[in-house]
A and B are shown apart, each in its own frame.
Chain A
Amino acid sequence: MVYFLLVRQKLNSIAGTLFFILLISFLADFGSEIYVKYVFPNSYPIGNTWHLINYIFVSILFHQIIPNRKLINGVLLIVFYTAAVVSFFYYSFMEANPVIRVLSNVSFIVLSLLAYFEMLKTPGRALNKNPIFWTLTAIFVFCSVTLLKNLFTQYLVFDLAVSKDLFATITLIYLLANIGKNFALFYSLILIDKGYGDSKIASKAT
């Protein structure tokens, strides 16, 4: 992956942004494992950091995919970071801050829907070979499936002290959604690398 991006793709293209999204997702998952095992048994600080950094890269991605929606993207970015700063007065960094989690999910669902409608205006390549479609679907499905989990985690884990067994199904759904998202984003990268990024809305991919 690093090879084809450094050698064959520009880092300021959609492929470059996808690469960074995948990289920080990998670092967050891997870092969380090490942090929980060796530093402190709480994965939420890494999760909070991931949400804050991931928002920047996904915003850049939407800026590249739908450049005519700069205003909405910019407003959501400002709202998110303002709410994030305020929310940390109410929630410790060691907790599952529902404000940043739900706001990022809702922002990306709205932006994905806008991008889908943008795709409908100029239909190009078949969807199964369209990297933009796979990228949008990865983000749209992941944000929709994890929306309620993100909304209720703080309440369930910190207020109601839910048992691990009861919370396991919710965690499993989240993990499957995360793995699915990363596979779909990686498939988009492969499509771009194979040269499927040259049709209308997908033409911005390379």
Chain B
Amino acid sequence: MIEVVVNIVLAGTAILSVGVAWFLYAFSKAYHSRKQ
């Protein structure tokens, strides 16, 4: 049970990190295209 919860936290954090990285990439692209 404990291992399952720990894995949920780790996997969830990994998914959130990928989401954050994707958002920052999309934001920087949108920012630079609006800037020009």
- Say if A and B assemble together: yes
Interface residues of A (CB under 8 A from B): 116, 119-120, 123-124, 126-127, 137, 140-141, 144-145, 147-149, 152, 155-156, 160, 162-163, 166-167, 169-170, 173
B27 contact set on A, CB distance < 8 A: 116, 120
Between-chain CB contacts (< 8 Å), 13 pairs: A120-B34, A144-B16, A144-B20, A145-B13, A147-B13, A152-B8, A156-B5, A160-B5, A162-B5, A163-B2, A166-B6, A170-B9, A173-B13
Name the contact of B20 in the complex, choosing from A145, A152, A166 (C-beta under 8 A).
Answer: A145
A contact patch SS: helix
Distance of A152 from chain B, by nearest CB (Å): 5
Chain B residues with Cβ below 8 Å from A123 are 31-32, 34-35
Number of interface residues of B (CB under 8 A): 22
What residues of chain B have their CB less than 8 Å away from a CB belonging to chain A?
A: 1-3, 5-6, 8-10, 12-13, 16-17, 19-20, 24, 27-28, 30-32, 34-35
B9, A145: Cβ atoms closer than 8 Å: no
A166–B3 CB distance below 8 A: yes
Beyond the given pairs A127-B31, A148-B8, 10 more chain A to chain B contacts, judged by CB atoms under 8 angstroms and listed by A's residue number, are A120-B30, A126-B35, A127-B28, A137-B24, A144-B17, A145-B16, A149-B9, A155-B5, A160-B2, A170-B9
